[in-house]
A and B are shown apart, each in its own frame.
Chain A
Amino acid sequence: MSTRLSQGGRLIDRSAQQGFSFNGKRLKGYAGDTLASALLANDQMLMGRSFKYHRPRGVIASGAEEPNALMNLGAEGKFEPNARATTTPLFDGLEAASQNHFPSLEFDVGALNTHLSRFLPAGFYYKMFIHPRPFWKHIYEPFIRQSAGLGKAPKARDVDTYEHFYAFCDVLIIGGGIAGLQAAKVAADAGLEVMLVEQDPHWGGRAPVDGTGIDGKPAQDWIDTTVAALGDMPNVTLRARCMGAGVYDHGYVLCYERLTDHAPKAAGPRHRLWRVRAKQVVTATGAIERPLSFAGNDIPGVMLAGAVRDYVVNYGVSIGDRTVVVTNNDDAYRTAIALKEAGLEVPAIIDARTGGAGALGDQAKALGIRVETGKAIAKVKGGKRVTGVGICAQAGEGSILEEIACDCVTMSGGWSPVVHLWSHCGGKLIWDDALAMFRPDGDRAPTSHDGNPFVITAGAANGALSDVLADATAQAAEVVSRCGGKTDAAAPTEANTAENAIEPIWLMPQGAAHKLRSKSWLDFQNDVKVSDVQLAAQEGFESVEHAKRYTTLGMATDQGKTSNINGLAILSKELGVDIPQVGTTTFRPPYTPISMGAIAGEARHEIFQPLRKTPMHDWHDANGAHWEPVGHWRRPYCFLRGDETPEKAVHREVLNTREKLGLLDASTLGKIIVKGPDAGKFLDMMYTNMMSNLKPGRCRYGLMCSENGFLSDDGVVARISDDTWLCHTTSGGADRIHAHMEEWLQTEWWDWKVYTANVTEQYAQVAVVGPNARKVLEKLGGMDVSADALSFMGWADGTIGGFDVRVYRISFSGELSYEIAVPANQGRAFWDALLEAGEEFGVMPYGTEALHIMRAEKGFIMIGDETDGTVIPQDLNLHWAISKKKDDFLGKRAQMRSHMADPNRWKLVGLETTDGSVLPDGAYAVGEGTNANGQRNMIGRVTSTYHSPTLGKGIAMGLVHHGPDRMGEVLDFPRVDGTVVKAKIVDPVFYDKEGAKQNV
């Protein structure tokens, strides 16, 4: 059984007991425990079920590489699925539950799959469930989907907060083991700005567990001194619980700091995402131990050797009373020795190498441990827990020589450097035959914008399994010189035990038959076995990417940290090529999964995106605004009174504006100042109209087209002075149009003397509209707004009611109308003044929908309705706005292309249903027959359609094939359900064709 030893555990505080629960069972652990160590201390070896076969799963590792021990953690708004028990810090009150089983962890009906496993080899689903077809949808797929997934889906809204930090440094060092600490010290001593991040809560990595001596003392002493020294340096930032998650182009690195996962009651954000720009990045990310592939290596109680050592040394937890060690290298002997020293039994070390170990072997033997060389495990016995192993010769086919009873098996297949961060941005790897590992190829590092390398790797991550500090010192010196500094730092002396070479053993025993291979796991979470990879090779999935995808090897939540190398070694053997020829799959960020919450940061809900507010926003909000998002703005669609419906409100607003007086908050309208000696010439290029000959004091309606000739924006341009124009754009278009202007100025006409500024938010603008418009302005008084003083399409500066105003006499509704701009900070006061003064004239604010209806009644086009990126001004009968006098303007040449000049283009008309109803939005008119692809032939479409309160019937605009020549013709517009609406082609101006109402 696994239990807490009476002594030991360098990371736990035995005086601080922590209560927690697992599957509802109340258990106890200590501060400093991980959830995994605390569960093991309570003899809870079974922690989950595998994905495909629902095999019982125990923990195999002690860190980020753990594939098995995943938990549903917490509840409600703090619930998190798939939390790795080995990196989940224990806290008082923690609630965990195991995943992927029904009805319980101990008795899971899904485990039936394990008996069917011979029918469910790699890729089985590609080969079956094909017939009969309806079965896939109704039976097979629902079944497959139902059995998918590990953790539960969160239900409640996340109650935590997240934040983003930005940091800039000379050197970012990822990994706070002794290599990272030494590299940080060297770089910091050389005066560089250093940031050092470590994913665990504590510094020093494996060295204290592995018994490394530094400068003649235990590693911990050196670690403590170094961390303290770094902590005192102003040019050093240290972050524990902070993982390097991804390395991106140009020295951009993402770090993921878990601020309160260990103390969920603490105030403040849960996670912090650091976005670091570093000149140089050092990955000192250590190495991960590989399992060995033998039959039954997935049974709970079979664990990595380093992890078993960790649990004993760090947490005072023994995994079993009798532990068999199986290995192909010397390092696992350290585990045997540590266990023995903790008073536990080690019946045997099974070393697949005929030569066995060096000094560590002698040490083990001296402690009385039996060492068997050239041997292997034929088979592990047990179901939910190891009960023993069968030993065989590594060279044979697995006939059992001896059975040894044990309750733990600890294995080591060697160590793989953590090369993920090195690889994210293009760092290449090299296969090291002597060490049987892929390690970074220093000559092919990720390069930055200048073509120079910006990542370097140090310590075990660089393949330096011993002499770590010497390697770290050398790599740090290189980094210092890359940053233009100098150092003559020397490495502290490191006591290393000489080790015998590793022997690559990818399968145990060497000649294992199919029966054993189909029980030798590679990927524990996804249930990929040696036989699956071999089947992939047999079926021609030769590329490592094919084999991965076909078998799902390395695609689980651990992304193959413990399985990839073993899997590709099997593949290479099967294909008869060398490992480096097979290569690795691509390493992608993040190193381990990071929360979506952290990625999004603070931006959610109300502050999801910046909300742009006009100065009158609060008034609208308080007065029934029914909001509509327009770009980042929100505009009132209409103002609801009492329990009015939006339709009723719009109806009222239109009629009131037509009959009395309406106010529209037009502040969102884009306003761009274009100024300079070449401004006129520039605007002549931007607009289809001539703008250079506009007189100061006058306005002109202008059209803008894209380079492809399509109408992209419209608005009124006012000439303010000799060299200054003010261009109005659509509300949604201001930023886009400003960028468009700047793009042309900066890339094509950079020598023209033009300056543009987007002053949209500098002004509040109100449209005062309706027969009483002039009256209310005259009542407020200040400037002459009579027809003579300010004629249609004119503008003037002045004061009204004491406000400094600029008044444009323009109309988008067909009524007498003034658009009045005031400085933004006076917008609300001006609005209030208009409302107060307008009281006696029947003033009423109106929203965007009334605006739309009134413009449609007048036959004015709306960008985004009559246009959709495929419409040219000519389609809309706007020839009058296209200057014939100009040599060029944006879109001119495009509009001469054959399809643009085609007389068959659909043209703008008005449409009226024969029964007065409203044409459906977006309906198409159909002609005879079908096209070559069997689609109904279409001859036109509705672009805008409304019920007109003014006319008391449906009105619409549309684009129709030869439309203007077909006045009076009735077209068929089918609804989606196939029924047809009939509509007559009419003039698009429905209201006040003569313009009598606006020209007063």
Chain B
Amino acid sequence: MKRYSAFAIAREAFRYHTGWERAWRSPEPKKKYDAIIVGAGGHGLATAYYLGKNHGIKNVAILEKGWLGGGNTGRNTTIIRSNYLQDPSAAIYEKARSLYEDLSQDLNYNVMFSPRGVIMLAQTEHEVRGYKRTAHANALQGVATEYIDARRVKELCPIMHIEGPRYPVLGGLWQPRGGTARHDAVAWGYARACSDMGMDIIQKCEVTGVRRENGKVVGVDTTKGAIDCDRLGIVVAGHSGVVADMAGFRLPIESVPLQALVSEPIKPCMDVVVMANTVHGYMSQSDKGEMVIGGGTDGHNAYTQRGSFHHIEETVRALIETFPMISRLKMLRQWGGIVDVTGDRSPILSKTPVEGVFINCGWGTGGFKAIPGSGWGFAELMATGHSPLTAEFGLDRFREGRFIDESVAAGVAH
């Protein structure tokens, strides 16, 4: 693989860029692989990458029914943070965040990780206490966060209106090295690196069946024929229930639309990411200048990648309340993805009732930030049967009642 650099660009400029190679090969599937990953989203690709890089398993195929990165990985609002409350979450998200720090160098692909800082606003006394608690937990988990007062919030984000009247900003949880990255680049960077290791990324190849013998996986049926494998990783987000069904087990998961929108691009005016949970919306500014906006999930289960307008309306209301200046901006585009939500809002990275089949799903509304860490841990689980990063995220937790509930900080008002 030819390395990317400013020098390479200069060299190519003088021959009209005719020398650039394909970022990834487009091979036909082989008869058999050591491991097959279903789903070329960020999590699937990262899993494959670390299977190769950390565990030397390179005879791997990644099967994608559409185009790689075209699921939620290519639709999300790219917020990266690790200020989670519960230990297992903080561990895997912080692992991911710290891998993001060097990901561009590791992949030789600029994923534009931008640790510009994330503020989660506290607008009720209850939130104040919740975020102070998170800051305490984070300090013990090795995650650098800080509870800051309203004045500091305003300094960090001058376009914010903090005086109410309905929900004055009381303070916030500040993670200075949270931020954003370019979503496509994360998928493409991993894909290029996987392809370079000799892995086959097969697009437009939908898995339609999981073949088993004596309770063990032996391969998959796809729209490009049957392919054999020893190990199978299912990493298909909103379609997890569908693929698990092919393997003969059920998941405690629901698929719901989550929407986002962007404004037209304007000159830089916001240097941080802000999440406002009481009014329910969040916003950041992309490197292109668009205000990137998101909110809560739609209330119904669906597979269509669009949602209902009233959610957009609620989100925009919340953000005009927080950032009055956006009232005169225009919404350029709205879209939706199908997110996979579990009962405790935490992911599942687990062995399954079928030997050799592993599942990685349930990232729901917030899995972009987890991609490198999830890939790291899930690859370890697939390769060795155990990973400390994934140990608590097993399927058995739902039977045992050992939930990892992150809705805690936004729990109940008194």
Note all chain A residues with C-beta closer than 8 A to B321: 604-605, 608
- How many A-B pairs have beta carbons closer than 8 Å: the answer is 358
**A128 adjacent to B135 (CB under 8 Å):** no
Q: Which residue of A lies closest to B166 (CB)?
A: A608
**A708 adjacent to B309 (CB under 8 Å):** no
Cβ of B370 < 8 Å from any Cβ of A?
no
> Interface size for chain A: under 10, 10 to 19, 20 to 34, or 35 or more residues?
35 or more
Cβ of B411 < 8 Å from any Cβ of A?
yes
Cβ of B31 < 8 Å from any Cβ of A?
no
Q: Which of A518, A550, A588, A600 contacts B320 (CB 8 A)?
A: A600
| Bound form: Cα–Cα A47–B282 in Å | 34
**B139 adjacent to A978 (CB under 8 Å):** yes
Note all chain A residues with C-beta closer than 8 A to B16: 118, 514-515, 518, 531
**A933 adjacent to B407 (CB under 8 Å):** no
Closest Cβ–Cβ distance, residue A783 to chain B (whole Å): 31
Q: Which residue of A lies closest to B386 (CB)?
A: A932
With contact pairs A149-B265, A545-B74 given, residues A628 and B312 touching in the complex (Cβ less than 8 Å): no
With contact pairs A557-B264, A596-B320 given, residues A144 and B287 touching in the complex (Cβ less than 8 Å): yes
Stretch at the interface among B209-217, B219-227, B330-338: B330-338
Closest Cβ–Cβ distance, residue A749 to chain B (whole Å): 22
Cβ of B147 < 8 Å from any Cβ of A?
yes
**A595 adjacent to B288 (CB under 8 Å):** no
Q: Which residues 448-477 of A sit at the B interface, judged by CB distance below 8 A?
A: none
| Bound form: Cα–Cα A248–B333 in Å | 14
**B129 adjacent to A921 (CB under 8 Å):** yes
With contact pairs A864-B414, A899-B401 given, residues A246 and B264 touching in the complex (Cβ less than 8 Å): no
**B112 adjacent to A935 (CB under 8 Å):** no
**B125 adjacent to A628 (CB under 8 Å):** yes
**B136 adjacent to A923 (CB under 8 Å):** yes
Cβ of B146 < 8 Å from any Cβ of A?
yes
Note all chain B residues with C-beta closer than 8 A to A492: none
| Bound form: Cα–Cα A546–B40 in Å | 13
Q: Which of A150, A538, A597, A900 contacts B264 (CB 8 A)?
A: A150
Cβ of B245 < 8 Å from any Cβ of A?
no
Q: Which residues 865-907 of A sit at the B interface, judged by CB distance below 8 A?
A: 865, 867-870, 894, 897-900
Cβ of B301 < 8 Å from any Cβ of A?
no
Closest Cβ–Cβ distance, residue A140 to chain B (whole Å): 9
**A629 adjacent to B328 (CB under 8 Å):** no
Cβ of B326 < 8 Å from any Cβ of A?
yes
Q: Tally chain B residues at the interface, Cβ within 8 Å.
A: 122
Closest Cβ–Cβ distance, residue B191 to chain A (whole Å): 9
Binary CB contact string for chain B from 66 to 103 against chain A (1 if under 8 A, 0 otherwise): 11011000100000000000011011000100000110
With contact pairs A153-B325, A539-B22, A864-B126 given, residues A899 and B402 touching in the complex (Cβ less than 8 Å): yes
| Bound form: Cα–Cα A862–B413 in Å | 10
Q: Which of A539, A559, A637, A712 contacts B20 (CB 8 A)?
A: A539
Note all chain B residues with C-beta closer than 8 A to A594: 330-331
Cβ of B308 < 8 Å from any Cβ of A?
yes
With contact pairs A124-B9, A595-B329, A611-B166 given, residues A935 and B324 touching in the complex (Cβ less than 8 Å): no
**A595 adjacent to B328 (CB under 8 Å):** yes
Note all chain B residues with C-beta closer than 8 A to A837: none
Note all chain B residues with C-beta closer than 8 A to A166: none
**B21 adjacent to A539 (CB under 8 Å):** yes
Note all chain A residues with C-beta closer than 8 A to B334: 246, 588-590
**A869 adjacent to B411 (CB under 8 Å):** yes
Cβ of B108 < 8 Å from any Cβ of A?
yes
Q: Which residues 51-89 of A sit at the B interface, judged by CB distance below 8 A?
A: 51, 78-82
**B412 adjacent to A150 (CB under 8 Å):** no
With contact pairs A146-B268, A606-B166, A924-B137 given, residues A119 and B110 touching in the complex (Cβ less than 8 Å): no
**Which of A637, A868, A899 has the largest number of chain B CB atoms within 10 A?**
A868
Closest Cβ–Cβ distance, residue B170 to chain A (whole Å): 9
| Bound form: Cα–Cα A732–B403 in Å | 24
Closest Cβ–Cβ distance, residue A57 to chain B (whole Å): 15
**B4 adjacent to A933 (CB under 8 Å):** no
Cβ of B30 < 8 Å from any Cβ of A?
no
Closest Cβ–Cβ distance, residue A243 to chain B (whole Å): 12
Cβ of B304 < 8 Å from any Cβ of A?
yes
Note all chain A residues with C-beta closer than 8 A to B206: none
Cβ of B149 < 8 Å from any Cβ of A?
no
**A600 adjacent to B102 (CB under 8 Å):** no
Cβ of A358 < 8 Å from any Cβ of B?
no
| Bound form: Cα–Cα A148–B12 in Å | 25
**B265 adjacent to A150 (CB under 8 Å):** yes
Q: Which residue of A lies closest to B67 (CB)?
A: A543
Binary CB contact string for chain A from 559 to 598 against chain B (1 if under 8 A, 0 otherwise): 1000000000000000000000000001011100111110
Cβ of B134 < 8 Å from any Cβ of A?
yes
Q: Which residue of A lies closest to B289 (CB)?
A: A149
Cβ of B59 < 8 Å from any Cβ of A?
no
Note all chain B residues with C-beta closer than 8 A to A609: 166
**B412 adjacent to A713 (CB under 8 Å):** yes
With contact pairs A149-B268, A158-B327, A976-B136 given, residues A126 and B110 touching in the complex (Cβ less than 8 Å): yes
**A938 adjacent to B140 (CB under 8 Å):** yes
Closest Cβ–Cβ distance, residue A893 to chain B (whole Å): 10
| Bound form: Cα–Cα A88–B227 in Å | 58
**B167 adjacent to A629 (CB under 8 Å):** yes
Cβ of B159 < 8 Å from any Cβ of A?
yes
**B335 adjacent to A588 (CB under 8 Å):** yes
Cβ of A731 < 8 Å from any Cβ of B?
yes
With contact pairs A630-B124, A921-B129 given, residues A141 and B87 touching in the complex (Cβ less than 8 Å): no
With contact pairs A121-B17, A539-B22 given, residues A546 and B264 touching in the complex (Cβ less than 8 Å): no
Cβ of B400 < 8 Å from any Cβ of A?
yes
**B133 adjacent to A921 (CB under 8 Å):** yes
With contact pairs A545-B74, A732-B412 given, residues A608 and B317 touching in the complex (Cβ less than 8 Å): yes
Binary CB contact string for chain B from 104 to 115 against chain A (1 if under 8 A, 0 otherwise): 110011101111
| Bound form: Cα–Cα A709–B405 in Å | 13
Cβ of A922 < 8 Å from any Cβ of B?
yes
Q: Which residue of B lies closest to A253 (CB)?
A: B309
Give me 15 A-to-B residue pairs in the complex whose CB atoms sit less than 8 angstroms apart, sorted by A's number: A81-B266, A82-B265, A145-B268, A145-B287, A152-B267, A539-B22, A730-B413, A848-B125, A852-B414, A864-B411, A922-B130, A933-B91, A936-B141, A938-B140, A976-B136
Given contacts A133-B102, A629-B123, A732-B413, 7 further A-B contacts (CB under 8 A): A121-B12, A125-B112, A149-B288, A150-B264, A611-B166, A713-B412, A933-B87
Interfacial residues, chain A to chain B (CB-CB below 8 A)? 51, 78-82, 118-119, 121, 124-131, 133, 136-137, 141, 144-146, 148-158, 246, 248-249, 252, 254, 275, 424-426, 514-515, 518, 531, 535, 538-543, 545-546, 549-550, 557, 559, 586, 588-590, 593-597, 599-601, 603-606, 608-609, 611, 628-631, 637, 708-709, 712-713, 730-733, 848, 852, 862-865, 867-870, 894, 897-900, 920-924, 926, 931-936, 938, 941-942, 974-976, 978
7 cross-chain pairs, A with B, having the tightest CB-CB distances, nearest first: A922-B133, A732-B413, A149-B289, A593-B330, A897-B401, A153-B269, A540-B22
